[in-house]
Amino acid sequence: MKILAFESSAVSASVALIEEERLVAQSFQNCGLTHSRTLLPMAEDLLANCGVSLDEIDAIAVAHGPGSFTGVRIGVATVKGLALGADKPCVGVSTLEAMAWGARALGGPLCCVMDARAGQVYNALFTAENGAPRRLCGDRALRLADLGEEIGEAPYFLVGDGADLCYNTLKERCPGLRLAPPELRYPTGFGVAAAALPLLKAGQTCTPQALDAFYLRRPQAERERLKRLSGQQ
């Protein structure tokens, strides 16, 4: 089975191609350019360099959230468009779970975190066992202070774009925290593909029309609008 996978939930962007569990190719950028400019050309170049056409792909996967509202929307829209044109099934996976799959070689407890602003993070806890991550909790948005209270002194590798923020804020309170190596810290297309593979094998795919973004909070602009409206009442 071949999976083309996209990750654009945070600042970095990545596209990967796997065949079964083998990574065929991956493109990763963390240069600050907008995903609307980089994501589709990355996929086109990757497929061309591999000599693989979309017709040969079994499914297209994407990290559908949580994450940056704009980044998640771009990733989901890109995959919907490609899948519709090529008549391919889609697999949407949790951004946090994709991080855990990408960092599973670290073994042991993994704390996947994304900066959600306003003193909060998007978070999920995993433990890597027998080559695969196992969830310890669902995806959630919570205050850093609450995460620190839950973790305590337990050992965890920090993974994700919120890893540095989490470590710098909680290292005194949570002495068991360790930063994952940079090459395993950021979300990647390979992590998305690895998370999608068991779902594809289990037949847990969706049509392009049914693929949707997954958000844990309202967009900031909507939260500000609701705050203004509540202040007028």
pTM higher than 0.85: yes
Contact 98, 63 (CB under 8 A): yes
pLDDT at 226: 47
Structural domains present in the chain: 2-96+187-227 (3.30.420.40), 105-185 (3.30.420.40)
Mean of the per-residue pLDDT values for the chain? 93
Contact 160, 113 (CB under 8 A): yes
Q: What is the pLDDT of residues 85-97, one digit of tens each?
A: 999 999 999 999 9
Q: What is the pLDDT of residues 162-205, one digit of tens each?
A: 999 999 999 999 999 999 999 999 999 999 999 999 999 999 99
The neighbour count for residue 37, using CB atoms within 10 Å, is 11
- In this structure, the strands spanning 13-19 and 2-7 are antiparallel
Alpha-carbon distance of 140 to 123, in angstroms, equals 5
Residue with tokens 């909790």: 137
pLDDT at 224: 53
pLDDT at 118: 87
